[in-house]
Structure 1
Amino acid sequence: MAALIKAASVQDLRRSLVAIGGDHLMILLAGTLSYLLWHDVAWWAAALAAPVTLTIAGRAMRGLECLVHEASHYNLTRRRRLNDAIANVLCAWPVLSEVQQYRTSHMIHHRSFGHADDPDRVRNLRLMLEDFDRSSLAALTVGAVRRIVPYVPGWWWAIGLDGGTVAKFVAWHVMALWLPLAVLLGPAQAAVFWVLAWGVPVFFALPVIRFIAEAAEHDYLPDDADATIFTRTWSNIGAIHRIVFHPHNDGYHAVHHLYPSVPHHKLHRVHRLLAERDQAFATDALIRTKVTSSA
């Protein structure tokens, strides 16, 4: 198994760049559709399309966040400065994050998994996620609405958000989006495009998608001395998870905790091989294939 993991821990920067490019393309296409409907048809046309366009854009932004997570483990490239530069400029700054600060908190989560100083455990208990009802879409919606407001500042605390990161977020969007669009469309229309393509999705759609994804990752209660990563960590690997909530194989979370050096494009294969070769994993691993059920 050690040889398999060593082989699976080889990075492929080109594949990660393709994934990043795909996420940005999805955001651009969804934003362009929203803008054209708003500008050329009517505001209500953009509003009617919003459930689709916001889901697409929010999912793509979630994809960028998942790749920030990858970069926090140096899984884009082992060249650390290049890894962090790519992650910040192409993934983190656009979604109000910074990989170095994210890494600080996330490494505590890995080192102290399930203990009192695990930041994910702290947030889970504060939000009472052990009582999160997934029995139906209505129950899930009610639970998410009740928790989303306290969840957002908790996320900002977890990723170490500060004024410097906010400034980089603003600078990135001004230079990468608003200025080029202002040349093409004029300053006011460029601002409208940004609000539709990025502003609304990043502050409203993305947090909802992220919350549903994060709420499904770990069970920290009841406190059990015999608990393991297998019995505390859910692998969310259904189609809806892979497409919307856990892009870039983020749902293979138990494998990630076991072997954090394995990059996103190898997690599915390692999960499958573990299930075939490791009886404990095959028996104890928690698998979830739907959003509105416990398994």
Structure 2
Amino acid sequence: MTTTSHVLSDMAALRSELRQQGDPHCELFRLAPWRAVLDIAFDWLIVLSSVALVVWWSELFAPLAVVLIANRQRALGNILHDAGHRNLWRDRRRNDLVARLFIAPLLFASLARYRETHFKHHMELGTDGGDPDLLFFARSGPTNWFLNYLDQIFSLSAWLSSMGGHLFSRQVRAASQLYILGWWAGALALMLAIVGPDFTITFLVLWLLARATAFHLITTFREMCDHFGLLPGGVFTFTRDMVCHGVWRWLIHPRNNGYHLTHHLLPAVPYYRLPEAHRLLKGQEVFRDRGKVCSDYFTGTDPVTGAWQAQGRIP
């Protein structure tokens, strides 16, 4: 049985159980496009306000600005993820127009390439050479989770991906890369005309610095939360939900991004309905028996970092 078959089998098992209850999950597929538009505007506002804090108040706020900008880069990345699934609008033209104007190029991403690789991630989940998001175990034998985390963040290919998105990818068409560069040239020219060179240069420096540092640290940790230390073989065996609260959740998993198992099982549910979807799935026998859910990052009885030990190494 192939990995794709296992993935489809897990999704079918869940939906079969839901159908017996009258398909209560179908309401969760309903979109509220205004919600995504407001969230995009909010993220842009936080980024620009962080830059303004440094330019017009004090350079001492630069470290805080880098963290805030990195967090909103992560949040915008989650909205881009929904755009890849056409979860902003079901109408592809509207969905892709918003993504290509306000999100994808800002994150150095090609929407078409993102959609292609993310579909492979869903269908070829956990397969070596098939899953483009598959992380590696560089160590054998028991080891501290932090060492495995360090292996990931010091991966040059991972850092280049965080820093430059699709600009450094040979698999992305030159036309798409030129669009990204052209978008940035236009955005910076507009910013220069409106708020002047100090703000524009500070924005660019803080944006790139955030991508190279805090964003990379956050994204790597988030990706490890999704699948690291689990065994391939389907959605249930290789995916987690992170049901955490507090500052760590805000920093690592904005926009409900921690509900990764729920998303893989019901990918047409938009990000703002994932908590409701998770509550529904908790009532399903197949999810209770097979679903992997963590409620802590570092402490508690079953922290997610405890699953990152090398003894859980994928063969």
TM-score range, shorter chain: 0.7 to 0.9
When residues 50 and 160 of structure 1 are mapped into structure 2, their CA distance, relative to the original with a 3 A threshold, is farther
The whole-number CA distance in structure 2 between the counterparts of 1:221 and 1:100 is 29
* Corresponding residue of 1:82: 94
**Greater helix proportion:** 1
* Corresponding residue of 1:167: 178
Give the counterpart of 1:287 among 284, 293, 302.
Answer: 293
Shift of 1:116: 3.6
Superposed, 1:168-187 pairs within 5 Å as 168-176=179-187, 178-186=188-196
* Structure 1 vs Structure 2 CA RMSD: 2.9
Superposed, 1:114-193 pairs within 5 Å as 114-120=126-132, 123-125=134-136, 128=138, 135=145, 139=147, 142-147=150-155, 149-153=156-160, 156=165, 160-176=171-187, 178-186=188-196, 188-193=197-202
* Corresponding residue of 2:278: 271
* Corresponding residue of 1:28: 48
TM-score, structure 2 as length reference: 0.76
Give the counterpart of 2:238 among 225, 232, 240.
Answer: 232
- Report the residue type matching 2:254 in the other structure: P
TM-score, structure 1 as length reference: 0.81
Structure 2: runs of 5 or more not aligned: 1-17, 299-304, 308-315
- Report the residue type matching 2:255 in the other structure: H
* Corresponding residue of 1:259: 266
* Corresponding residue of 1:14: 34
- Report the residue type matching 1:164 in the other structure: A
Shift of 1:141: 6.4
Q: State the identity %.
A: 22
Q: Larger relative CO (CA 8 A, sep 6+): 1 or 2? A: 2
Give the count of matched residue pairs: 276
The whole-number CA distance in structure 2 between the counterparts of 1:220 and 1:140 is 10
Q: SS where residue 227 of structure 2 aligns?
A: coil
**Residues 243 and 295, structure 2, Cα contact 8 Å, conserved in 1:** yes
Structure 1: runs of 5 or more not aligned: none
Shift of 1:22: 1.3
When residues 234 and 36 of structure 1 are mapped into structure 2, their CA distance, relative to the original with a 3 A threshold, is same
Shift of 1:199: 2.6
* Corresponding residue of 2:15: none
The whole-number CA distance in structure 2 between the counterparts of 1:81 and 1:130 is 48
Shift of 1:111: 1.6
